[in-house]
């Protein structure tokens, strides 16, 4: 979604803001702009399309001021054209906005026909409202305090005024905003990435809080204008972690980082000498696990598929009912939950609007919530009762990869932890599963060698009419995830199916132009999966199979065969995810698509 950067300080604001916007590119956007002080006025430069176009426009622009704001816009109200790009300027007020103002039409009507609009956005309306207030208050903060109660929706806004040239005011209800101070400087941004090169100490704004930056200091207020004392958080990511490090794309770098990411995900929860896990104690909710009769896992997209793998693992190992729900469905379906339910919300960004709405709904229902996030201190992390982390480091590619496999590793430990606490797993079995998990990073390293295979096969694979991904049991959600990756990156039709469902419909799709990706590791369901594979082959499907090392039969039946190292059934999903990510990456690349920023998609989905 949109990116926001604001800067006051001794450095050239143009460079700081452009650098910040660049680090937020991964969020997805279709236009960009800045407004920077020059001769006491905010000079605004905006451009449709990529940041490089804005950069070109700014090449010969000089600014003598020390304050400015910038924005990358992901269109919601109005087409992605220059007139709708931010900042929006109305009578000396310039602002950037992320999110949606829901009562926009109503407020626009109240302003009457004399208000001249130059864009089709809801954002410009807020600039009109603040410009109207400042005429009587002559005070930027006071004007925001008057406008705030009138706005409905999910938004984060950063506003400046030409009559207050050393001030910025940031406020939010929904999408994240953070403020950080460095030597003689203050930065405001929608994401830590933009601030990391300058400072690691940041303050997270909560909903309906307002940051008032004046010169090199800032204060935070509540919506009634009462000053608040806020906690300063130290970020433990480095600016370097968010760089490409020689890889052609962030996504490829992040795919290759997975062995390390999974090792980092496991590390805080495993005693490597004893082969035991203390993960339940680390959640801060250990006592709540006793007496629960149901776990409800809720998430969106890739995080949802990781949750589905978790459900198979927890049910099988711990013998407890686990339901999985897509957050956007759950929030509107009046769920019936027993008081012994524990909810597990999964979100890499920790900001996904639907998942956040579910969190608040569950809190109203008094259901304890354990969150599993990658971004520490994100809204979902902050508002949950218990906390686990993916520990994957910053994930910049829009398509989630290392956060997914890190989630699988953490959920596997949760399954082992619950199983042990319920007396369903012997110490020997706990040791067996933990050993298998600890071996996974090294096995994942070896699987990464299939990169070469897919980079060569991509030219053939890209010409298929469509892809069907199939798997059974714990491999089934991996089939769903594989299909999602191909859809979002290669823009090709792909579907994930439970292999046993094939004869109930999708078999009709199969012909020589349909690729069938079969996840067939040597586990308890292998024979069943094999017969599904033979059914597909008999109908002329082109079989790409992923099995366990040494399976010559599978090799003979397949047009393309990839062998995974021999692993515990529960660890296979960690290994299978890698070839499916690489398949999608290379096919998309061969088709000439922007792999890191697929069209129409955003990294952090902060609107419904």
SS3 301: helix
Backbone region of residue 27 per phi and psi (left: phi > 0; alpha: psi in -120 to 50; beta: other values): alpha
Binding residue for ligand F6R, selected from 303, 405, 522, 581, defined by CB under 6 A: 303
Least Å from the CB of residue 154 to ligand F6R: 15
Contacts of 68 (CB under 8 A, 6+ apart): 6, 7, 13, 14, 17, 34, 35, 36, 37, 42, 160
x/- map, 560-599, ligand F6R, by CB under 6 A: ----------------------------------------
Using the minimum distance from each CB to ligand F6R, give the nearer residue, 6 or 598.
Answer: 598
Our answer to whether residue 214 is catalytic in this structure is no
The reply on whether position 205 binds ligand F6R by CB under 6 A is no
CB of 488 to ligand F6R, least distance (A): 6
What residues form DSSP beta bridges with 42? Answer: 37
Report whether 561 contacts 547 (CB < 8 A): yes
Q: Tell me the window of 186-194, 341-349, 358-366, 521-529 that interacts with ligand F6R (CB under 6 A).
A: 341-349
- What is the largest distance, in Å, between two alpha-carbon atoms of the chain? 81
Establish how many alpha carbons lie within 13 A of residue 502's alpha carbon, considering only the half-sphere containing its beta carbon: 27
Three-class secondary structure of residue 203 per DSSP: strand
Asked whether position 475 contacts ligand F6R by CB under 6 A, the answer is no
| Member of 193, 605, 606, 607 binding ligand F6R (CB under 6 A) | 605
| Interface stretch with ligand F6R, choices 21-29, 261-269, 297-305, 332-340 (CB under 6 A) | 297-305
Q: How far is the CB of 141 from ligand F6R (least distance, A)?
A: 32
Size of the site for ligand F6R (CB under 6 A): 14
302 is a contact residue toward ligand F6R (CB under 6 A):
yes
Question: Token pair of 61, please?
Answer: 């622009």
Cα 118 to chain centroid, rounded: 33
Choose between 173 and 349: whose C-beta lies nearer to ligand F6R. Answer: 349
Q: Which is nearer to ligand F6R, 348 or 529 (CB)?
A: 348
Q: Is 603 a catalytic residue?
A: yes
Q: Residue 396 has what DSSP assignment?
A: -
When the beta carbons of 302 and 545 are compared against ligand F6R, the nearer one is: 302
SS3 239: coil
Element (H, E) at 277: strand 276-277
Candidates 2, 300, 373, 450; catalytic one: 2
Nearer to ligand F6R, 269 or 485 (CB): 485
Instruction: Say whether residue 355 binds ligand F6R (CB under 6 A).
Output: yes
Sign of CA dihedral 479, 481, 482, 487: positive
Q: 14, 172, 402, 603: which one is catalytic? A: 603
Does position 496 interact with ligand F6R (CB under 6 A)? The reply is no
What is the CA 584 to chain-centroid distance, rounded? 18
Tell me the β-bridge partners of 588: none
Q: Which residue's CB is nearer to ligand F6R, number 349 or number 405? A: 349
Of the residues 347, 406, 532, 558, which one makes contact with ligand F6R according to CB under 6 A: 347
Nearer to ligand F6R, 356 or 562 (CB): 356
Rounded-to-integer distance, Cα 459 and Cα 454, Å? 9
Spatial distance between the Cα atoms of 71 and 27, rounded to a whole number of angstroms = 12
Which of 84, 349, 529, 548 lies at the binding interface for ligand F6R (CB under 6 A)? Answer: 349
Q: Is 558 exposed, middle or buried (0-12, 13-18, 19+ CB in 10 A)?
A: buried
- Which residue numbers are catalytic? 2, 603
Point out which residues bind ligand F6R (CB under 6 A): 300-303, 347-349, 352, 355, 399-400, 484, 488, 605
């Amino acid at each position: 979604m949109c990116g926001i950067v604001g800067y006051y300080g001794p450095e050239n604001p143009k460079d700081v803001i452009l650098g910040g916007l660049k680090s937020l590119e991964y969020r997805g956007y279709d236009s960009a702009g800045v407004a920077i002080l020059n001769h006491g006025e905010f000079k605004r430069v905006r451009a449709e399309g990529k940041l490089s176009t804005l950069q070109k426009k700014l090449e010969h622009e000089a600014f003598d001021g020390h304050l400015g704001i910038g924005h990358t816009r992901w269109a919601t109200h109005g087409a992605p054209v220059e007139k709708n790009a931010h900042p929006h300027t109305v009578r000396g007020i310039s602002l950037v906005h992320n999110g949606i103002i829901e009562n926009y039409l109503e407020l626009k009507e109240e302003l009457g026909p004399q208000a001249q609009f130059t864009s089709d956005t809801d954002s410009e309306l807020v600039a009109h409202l603040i410009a109207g207030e400042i005429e009587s208050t002559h005070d930027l903060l006071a004007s925001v305090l008057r406008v705030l109660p009138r706005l409905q929706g999910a938004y984060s806004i950063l506003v400046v005024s030409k009559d207050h040239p050393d001030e910025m005011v940031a406020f939010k209800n929904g999408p994240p905003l953070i403020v950080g101070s460095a030597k003689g400087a203050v930065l405001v941004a929608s994401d830590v990435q933009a601030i990391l090169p300058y400072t690691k100490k940041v303050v997270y704004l909560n909903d309906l809080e307002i940051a008032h930056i004046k010169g090199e200091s800032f204060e935070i207020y509540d919506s009634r204008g009462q000053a608040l004392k806020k906690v300063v958080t130290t970020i433990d990511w480095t600016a370097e972690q968010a760089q490409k490090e020689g890889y052609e794309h962030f996504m490829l770098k992040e795919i290759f980082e997975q062995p390390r990411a999974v090792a980092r995900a496991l590390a805080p929860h495993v005693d490597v000498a004893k082969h035991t896990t203390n993960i339940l104690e680390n959640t801060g909710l250990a006592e709540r696990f006793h007496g629960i009769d149901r776990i409800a896992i809720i998430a969106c997209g890739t995080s949802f598929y990781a949750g589905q793998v978790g459900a198979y693992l927890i049910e099988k190992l711990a013998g407890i009912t686990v339901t999985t729900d897509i957050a956007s469905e759950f929030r509107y379906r009046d769920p019936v939950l027993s008081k012994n339910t524990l909810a597990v919300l999964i979100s890499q960004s920790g900001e996904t609007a639907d998942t956040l709405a579910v969190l608040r709904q569950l809190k109203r229902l008094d259901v304890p919530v354990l969150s599993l996030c990658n971004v520490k201190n994100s809204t979902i992390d902050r508002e949950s009762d218990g906390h686990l982390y993916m520990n994957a480091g910053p994930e910049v590619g829009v398509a989630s990869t290392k956060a997914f496999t890190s989630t699988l590793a953490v959920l596997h430990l949760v399954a082992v932890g619950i199983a042990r606490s319920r007396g369903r797993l012997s110490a020997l079995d706990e040791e067996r599963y933990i050993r298998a998990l600890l071996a996974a990073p090294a096995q994942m390293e070896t699987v990464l060698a299939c990169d070469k295979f897919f980079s060569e096969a991509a030219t053939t694979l890209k010409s298929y009419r469509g892809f069907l991904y199939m798997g059974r049991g714990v491999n089934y959600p991996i089939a769903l995830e594989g299909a999602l990756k191909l859809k979002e990156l290669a823009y090709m039709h792909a579907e994930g199916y439970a292999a046993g469902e094939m004869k109930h419909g999708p078999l009709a799709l199969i012909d020589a132009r349909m690729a069938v990706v079969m996840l067939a590791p040597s586990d308890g369901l292998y024979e069943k999966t094999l017969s599904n594979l033979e059914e597909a082959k008999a109908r002329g499907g082109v079989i790409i199979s992923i099995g366990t090392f040494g399976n010559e039969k599978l090799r003979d039946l397949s047009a393309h065969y990839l062998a995974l190292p021999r692993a515990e059934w529960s660890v296979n999903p960690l290994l299978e995810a890698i070839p499916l990510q690489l398949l999608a990456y290379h096919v998309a690349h061969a088709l000439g698509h922007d792999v890191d920023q697929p069209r129409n998609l955003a990294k952090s989905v902060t609107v419904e």
